[in-house]
Structure 1
Amino acid sequence: MITEKAPGKLYIAGEYAIVEPGNNAVLVAINQFVTASLEPSKLTVGNIISKQYQNNVLSWRRRGSELVVDNRDNPYHYILSAISIIEELAVLLNRKLKTYNLYINSDLDSSDGKKYGLGSSAAVTVATIKVVAKFYNIPLTKELLFKLASIAHLDVQGNGSLGDIAASVYGGWIAYQSFNRDWLNSMRRTKDLETILRTPWPQLKIELLTPPSDLRLYIGWTGSPASTSDLVDQVATTSYQETDSYHEFLTKNASCINKMIDGFRDADITVIQREITNNRHLLQELSLFSGVSIETTTLTNFCDIAEKFDGAAKSSGAGGGDCGIVIMPNSTKTAKMFAEWEKHDIKPLDLDVHHVTEIN
């Protein structure tokens, strides 16, 4: 049995703007994981089994180099896409394709299956590619893993910045600048995989950040799952994207995120907190002009309570529910903050930052 895992993520700042190529965001990998385990199959049929979908075992067969799924109405789209892209590389490397059983387990959802918004689709994509690559003895660098997982994820979701993929691959705190996805889609139609992987991706930048020693990250869950792809689509399909207000939002966001990144480089928690608050206000403006609900009433309560205890807080990711994040100096006030959150049906999550060292 071969086992690999990939961490979940949280957006610290830069949501929505990051879907535009060349824009930046700050993310963090957290210590909850999707774990993928693989064993060769003794039969002509392979299975994909997930604890999160106990009544839905997905069976598949080989038809030459093609993986053929018996049940197409399934919740395993990201896993299948991940298998497809890493096996495309395996064929290029003259590996003989085999049949195997793949087991998936996730810590990224609540015990009753509700999503916390920790990037489970990205993490399962990354974990699947890692474990299948190990099975076929394909060495991976972080850059190669990011590119493979980005292609697989984009093939399924069709939108998004792939920042969650970057966090799951690189770990820790990162500054992520999104690449040109139209370029990638064009390359997929016209170039072979080897060329795409070897070519530098336009505008892509990933920088590991070191937080100030006294910085603490706290996370609260609103109890209301949200769909990132749906919310991003809502903003993308509004006429707001064609307005001066939207371009002003992008400009202000770029300035905010650049100052925040400088705050990390200078180990200045005051600057980081100031720009967290600034980014919250920018998202509120985006919500007002686009008509898309980003900061729900519960998230507003979450942020307002955190600010009472010297924290800088905002929604994380697409908003509309899911999690909020708080940046504050090391403090003894957190127990009171958590107690107030719980009075407003906000669940503090016992999570920490996860750092990735090696791939294989």
Structure 2
Amino acid sequence: MIVEKAPGKLYIAGEYAVLEPNCPAILVAVNQFVRVSISENKTGTGLIHSKQYSQDSIHWVRKGSRMVIDNRDNPFEYILSAISYTERYCLEQHIKMNVYDLHVNSDLDSADGKKYGLGSSAAVTVATVKAILRFYGVKFSNELVYKLSAISHYSVQGNGSAGDIAASVYGGWLAYQTFDKKWLEHELATKSLSSVINEAWPDLKIELLTPPKKMKLMIGWSQKPASTSRLVDETNANKDALETEYQTFLQNSRRCVLKMVEGFEKSNIALIQEQIKINRKLLQHFAKINHIAIEIPRLTKLINIAEKFSGAAKTSGAGNGDCGIVITDEKTNVAALEQEWQKNGILPLNFHVHQINFAH
């Protein structure tokens, strides 16, 4: 029995802008995991089973009179895509295919199955890719796992930056910049999967960051789940109408995140906190011009409470629910802050940053 795991992630800064080339974001991997176990099946009929998702609900929309199912929130779609691309890669290495059972178990949702917004679809993709490669005895690097997972995930979601994939593969704190999607689509259509994986991907940047010693990350959960893929659809639909506003948002976000990276390089917590506050304002403006809700009232409350205790806080990820993050230093009374959160229906999540020591 082979077991592989991948951590969840949280966005610290750079959301929405990260969908575009040359717009960095900062993410962190957290110590909540998706575990995928794989074992050979001798009966000839393999099984894919998930503890969490046996009763999954599906979303659908009406396109004219047609009913169209949105499978992007269905974890099985990501698992099947990860299997399909990873096996295609293995076949190109002349590996003989086998039948197996795959079991998925996740900490990334709450006990009653609500999503925290930790990137469970990315983590399940990464863990599945690693499990299949290990099952077939393929030696793998972080880069191979990232690229196979990014292709698998993107082929289901059709949007997104794959920053959550990078966090699940590399762990720790990282600065991330997405690859050129048009280029990737063209390469996949015209070349073998192995050669696309061996190429340098234009614009892609993944850099590990070292946080300042006294800096602490706090996470609060709004207890309201959100759907990233649908929020991203809505903002994508507005892009052309808002061309100049959108470009300004991208430039400001890029400047803000690069300053924040500098804060990591110089171990300057105050600089990081200042940019967290700036990024929050940028996202609030972005939400306003797009007529979407990123910072719902419960998340505003989370942020206001954090600021009262001298923390710098903002929404994390697509917003509209899920989590808020706080960057604190030694001045922050963490216990009092958490107590006040709880009084206001915000659940402190006691997760820690997950470092990956990669040795294969």
Matched, 1:236 2:269: no
Q: Which whole-Å CA distance do the structure 2 matches of 1:19 and 1:249 have between them?
A: 12
Asked if the contact 1:140–1:359 (Cα under 8 Å) also holds between the matched residues in 2, the reply is no
CA shift, 1:338, in A, is 0.8
Secondary structure (helix, strand or coil) at the match of 2:52 reads helix
Matched, 1:180 2:187: no
Secondary structure (helix, strand or coil) at the match of 1:358 reads coil
Which amino acid is the alignment partner of residue 341 of structure 1?
A: W
**Superposition pairs for residues 159-308 of structure 1, below 5 Å?**
159-239=159-239, 242-308=242-308
Distance of aligned partners of 1:17 and 1:239 in 2 relative to their CA distance in 1, 3 Å threshold: closer
Distance of aligned partners of 1:79 and 1:274 in 2 relative to their CA distance in 1, 3 Å threshold: same
Q: Which residue of 2 aligns with 1:353?
A: 353
Asked if the contact 2:219–2:326 (Cα under 8 Å) also holds between the matched residues in 1, the reply is yes
Secondary structure (helix, strand or coil) at the match of 1:52 reads coil
Q: Which whole-Å CA distance do the structure 2 matches of 1:26 and 1:55 have between them?
A: 34
Q: Which whole-Å CA distance do the structure 2 matches of 1:356 and 1:335 have between them?
A: 28
Asked if the contact 2:5–2:34 (Cα under 8 Å) also holds between the matched residues in 1, the reply is yes
| Residue identity (%) | 52
Which amino acid is the alignment partner of residue 236 of structure 2?
A: A
What is the count of residue pairs matched by the alignment? 344
Secondary structure (helix, strand or coil) at the match of 1:115 reads coil
Q: Which whole-Å CA distance do the structure 2 matches of 1:263 and 1:41 have between them?
A: 51
Per-residue CA shift, 1:144-196, capped at 9, x if unaligned?
11000000000100000000000000000000011111111111111111110
Secondary structure (helix, strand or coil) at the match of 1:188 reads helix
The alignment yields a C-alpha RMSD, in angstroms, of 1.4
Secondary structure (helix, strand or coil) at the match of 1:32 reads strand
Distance of aligned partners of 1:160 and 1:109 in 2 relative to their CA distance in 1, 3 Å threshold: same
Q: Which whole-Å CA distance do the structure 2 matches of 1:118 and 1:241 have between them?
A: 31
Q: What TM-score, normalized by structure 1, do the two folds share?
A: 0.93
CA shift, 1:213, in A, is 0.1
Secondary structure (helix, strand or coil) at the match of 2:46 reads strand
Q: Which whole-Å CA distance do the structure 1 matches of 2:359 and 2:300 have between them?
A: 39
Secondary structure (helix, strand or coil) at the match of 1:37 reads strand
Asked if the contact 1:240–1:289 (Cα under 8 Å) also holds between the matched residues in 2, the reply is no
CA shift, 1:242, in A, is 3.6
CA shift, 1:359, in A, is 5.7
Q: Which residue of 1 aligns with 2:116?
A: 116
CA shift, 1:204, in A, is 0.4
Q: Which residue of 2 aligns with 1:318?
A: 318
Which amino acid is the alignment partner of residue 41 of structure 2?
A: S
CA shift, 1:241, in A, is 5.6
CA shift, 1:54, in A, is 3.8
Asked if the contact 2:239–2:246 (Cα under 8 Å) also holds between the matched residues in 1, the reply is no
Q: Which whole-Å CA distance do the structure 2 matches of 1:338 and 1:348 have between them?
A: 6
Asked if the contact 1:79–1:125 (Cα under 8 Å) also holds between the matched residues in 2, the reply is yes
Distance of aligned partners of 1:107 and 1:240 in 2 relative to their CA distance in 1, 3 Å threshold: same
Asked if the contact 2:311–2:332 (Cα under 8 Å) also holds between the matched residues in 1, the reply is no
Per-residue CA shift, 1:76-121, capped at 9, x if unaligned?
1000000011101110111110000000000000000000000000
Secondary structure (helix, strand or coil) at the match of 1:88 reads helix
Q: Which whole-Å CA distance do the structure 1 matches of 2:139 and 2:241 have between them?
A: 41
Secondary structure (helix, strand or coil) at the match of 1:45 reads coil
Q: Which residue of 2 aligns with 1:21?
A: 21
**Superposition pairs for residues 4-15 of structure 1, below 5 Å?**
4-15=4-15
Q: Which whole-Å CA distance do the structure 1 matches of 2:18 and 2:345 have between them?
A: 30
Asked if the contact 1:29–1:353 (Cα under 8 Å) also holds between the matched residues in 2, the reply is yes
Asked if the contact 1:22–1:180 (Cα under 8 Å) also holds between the matched residues in 2, the reply is no
Asked if the contact 2:75–2:124 (Cα under 8 Å) also holds between the matched residues in 1, the reply is no
Q: Which whole-Å CA distance do the structure 1 matches of 2:267 and 2:224 have between them?
A: 34
Distance of aligned partners of 1:4 and 1:239 in 2 relative to their CA distance in 1, 3 Å threshold: closer
Q: Which whole-Å CA distance do the structure 2 matches of 1:182 and 1:43 have between them?
A: 42
CA shift, 1:5, in A, is 0.2
Distance of aligned partners of 1:225 and 1:257 in 2 relative to their CA distance in 1, 3 Å threshold: same
Secondary structure (helix, strand or coil) at the match of 1:319 reads coil
Asked if the contact 1:175–1:207 (Cα under 8 Å) also holds between the matched residues in 2, the reply is yes
Asked if the contact 1:178–1:203 (Cα under 8 Å) also holds between the matched residues in 2, the reply is yes
Which amino acid is the alignment partner of residue 94 of structure 2?
A: N
Per-residue CA shift, 1:186-233, capped at 9, x if unaligned?
111111111101110000010000000000000000010000111111
Distance of aligned partners of 1:183 and 1:118 in 2 relative to their CA distance in 1, 3 Å threshold: same
Gaps of 5+ in 1: 57-73
Asked if the contact 1:241–1:247 (Cα under 8 Å) also holds between the matched residues in 2, the reply is no
CA shift, 1:295, in A, is 0.5
Q: Which whole-Å CA distance do the structure 2 matches of 1:320 and 1:15 have between them?
A: 13
| Structure 1: 4+ residue segments shifted above 4 A | none
Which amino acid is the alignment partner of residue 29 of structure 2?
A: A
Distance of aligned partners of 1:239 and 1:206 in 2 relative to their CA distance in 1, 3 Å threshold: closer
Asked if the contact 2:18–2:25 (Cα under 8 Å) also holds between the matched residues in 1, the reply is yes
Q: Which whole-Å CA distance do the structure 2 matches of 1:44 and 1:25 have between them?
A: 45
Q: Which residue of 1 aligns with 2:48?
A: 48
Asked if the contact 2:157–2:229 (Cα under 8 Å) also holds between the matched residues in 1, the reply is yes
Q: Which whole-Å CA distance do the structure 1 matches of 2:232 and 2:77 have between them?
A: 19
Which amino acid is the alignment partner of residue 123 of structure 1?
A: A
CA shift, 1:330, in A, is 3.0
Which amino acid is the alignment partner of residue 144 of structure 1?
A: L
Per-residue CA shift, 1:296-336, capped at 9, x if unaligned?
00110000100000100000000000000000103561111
